[in-house]
Structure formats: structure tokens, C-alpha cells
A and B are shown apart, each in its own frame.
Chain A
Amino acid sequence: MSHNLLSKALVGGVAIGAVVLLGAAADVTPDDSEKGVPPTPSRLLDVPESHIIPGNIKVQPKIENPVADDSDAVNRGMKYFANFNCAGCHAANGAGGMGPALSDHTFKFGSDPANIYLTISHGRPTGMPAWGTLLPSNVIWDLVAYIKSISNAPSPQWGKTTSLDAFKIEQVPAEFQSTPTPWQYTEPFSYGQKPTAEVNSGMNTK
């Protein structure tokens, strides 16, 4: 980009930002379907974290991830997941460890995109750092997209049965491949023995 265009883009960006902000302030029935534009902070702060709404009144429709349709977002998010050391606590593919697993639709602090956004941005009292102090919102939304992708575990039932018989499959381990959709690659459960498949899908980029 030429520098002139850049400076225009800078001005334009500020202008758009201002418009979105002003627009939201006047908005009573919010419509977050403007793709590519992240929700404003005030909208995010309105996201309830409890499911008990006094009076049982209807609340605003939930906020969608502005990059939900962006196929690159998941790949960017995968990079950030490693770059910002998310993998150090949550493990490759969200397997869990110091931090809880992100692999199985279970999110202690809410599974809606806005909940996950706020968990990353604000942190949580039991040890999740407050990344919003550092990361811009677009990075966080990319991470939210990635987390949605890796949490897509096959769930044949509503609850979770645990038994030696119930364990059927495991993911192809991350040392053999790096993919934003690990649940697409599974092999039989190994019961603590060596993994059965040694797959080099060609997606191993790191």
C-alpha cells in the first residue's frame, strides 16, 4: 500500500470506528450482522454471564463472531494460540492441562462466542490471564474462531459416559500433524499405550 493510501486508510479506519460507536449508542435493537466489524465494547459488556435473567425477560440476541465466515480466521487463530502461549496451558488442540480442555464444547464461563471473547479478554479469577490488556479485538475474535473449530468433538450423547468401553476414539496426536480441525482425524483409543496412527498429513507446518 502506498503511504498516501495508508494515511487515508488510517483516517477511514478512525471514521468507521466512530460511526460504529455512535451507531451502537443509539441502537436499541442491535443487529450485529455487519460482517467483519467487531461488536463495540459496550455491547460486549452487556453480555450476561449468568443464565438467570431476573424476570425471565428476553435479552438481546447473542453476538456472533464477526469473522465467523472468514476461513482464514481459524488458521490465524491457530497461530495466535501458539504465539501467545495458549497452548502452554490449554495444550495443543485444546487438550487441557494447567487450563481446562477446549476440545469438547464445555466452557465453564460460557460457550457463546461473546463469552469466550470475554474470557480471553478479561481473564478469569482462577488463573486465566487478562489478554485484553494486550491483544486487539480482531486477534481475540480469530482465537474465538479457532476455539470453536477445535471444540467440535463428536458428541453422540448429551452427557458424558466414562468407562473402558466408552472410550472409542482419540485424536491423531499433535506431534504428527498441525490442523485447525483435529476432530477430523481420529484413530482408535490407545489406553495409555503408544498412539496407533502415525500420520503425516502434510499439514505439519511448525
Chain B
Amino acid sequence: MHIRTIFFTEPRLTLAAASVIAFSVAAVAAAPPSPQAGKAVFMDSGCFACHGEFGYGGAGPRFRNDKLLAAKDYVVGQILIGRGIMPSFAHKLSDDQIAAVATYVRNSWGNDFGPVSASDVAKARKSFTSSGSVNSTTKQ
């Protein structure tokens, strides 16, 4: 699976995550992303390093009981654009992955703000640029 998982996640979780991601990528699902998919992105993309594996934050803000996460566009925009030390994930993650991790964050640790769909993310990408430079490229 992914490099990072060797260090920081259990093999079992990773395997499940891998299959889930593969599936969710293949099927352009209308169903909300699964928590496992979201958590896998959260860990494998290193979000946990700054936001904490249990949402307690660190270098980045904490997500526990965070009302700001209610604003879906804001969350998706942050992931696409980055800010300060947070990098942009526009070229690193697909619409499905961003939807998954945004859903995960918005519904964990005391938050209950509903899912984010891949089409939400696609829309956001479009709205940020006309030249398409934050469009999803092939997954890396």
C-alpha cells in the first residue's frame, strides 16, 4: 500500500482502506464516502501530522467540535488551495478522495455536518479557476 502506512497505521486498516479507495474511485458513487475511505486519506496524506489523529490539532487547527467545519465550501476550498503551512492538495487528491476526507473530518470528534460529495469538489475546482490549474490531474 502506501509508504506512510508502514509507519503509522495498522496493516489491517490499510488493506481495508486500499480496497475501499479503489472501489470508491472506480464507481462514481452518489453514496456518501465511507468513513474508512476518509480516514485512510486523512492518514496517508499526512493530515494527521498537523491536525492530529484524533482531531486535537497541533501545527494545524483542531477539528474537535469545530463549527467552522459546517461550511462545506470552506472545507473543500481549504483542501484544494491550502493556506500558510498547509499545502494545496488539488493536484494530489482526486475529487473522491477530497470528498472522503472532508466528510470524515466533518463527521468525527463531535462534529456532525453531513457528507461532502465528489461533485461538490468538482464544482469547487471549477469555481476556483477557469484555466483549470486546480483540476484534478492523474492521481499520483
Show the binding face of A for B, using Cβ within 8 Å: 3-4, 6-7, 10-11, 79-80, 83-85, 130, 133-136, 139
Task: Decide yes or no: A139 and B7 within 8 Å by CB, A7-B131, A7-B134, A84-B59 being known contacts.
Answer: no
Interface of chain A: mostly helix, strand, loop or mixed: helix
Q: How large is the interface on B (under 10, 10 to 19, 20 to 34, 35 or more residues)?
A: 10 to 19
In the complex, how many angstroms separate the beta carbon of A63 from the nearest chain B beta carbon? 23
Closest-by-CB residue of B relative to A79 is B59
A-B CB contacts (within 8 Å), total count: 34
Closest-by-CB residue of B relative to A10 is B133
Contacting residue for A83 out of B58, B87, B88, B129, CB 8 A: B58
Residues from chain A with Cβ under 8 Å of B133 in the complex: 7, 10-11
1/0 contact trace for B95-111 toward A, CB 8 Å?
Answer: 00000000000000000
Interface of chain B: mostly helix, strand, loop or mixed: loop
Residues from chain B with Cβ under 8 Å of A4 in the complex: 129, 131
1/0 contact trace for B2-22 toward A, CB 8 Å?
Answer: 011001000000000000000
Show the binding face of B for A, using Cβ within 8 Å: 3-4, 7, 46, 49-50, 58-59, 81, 85, 87-88, 128-129, 131, 133-134
Task: Report the Cα distance A172→B49, complex, angstroms.
Answer: 31
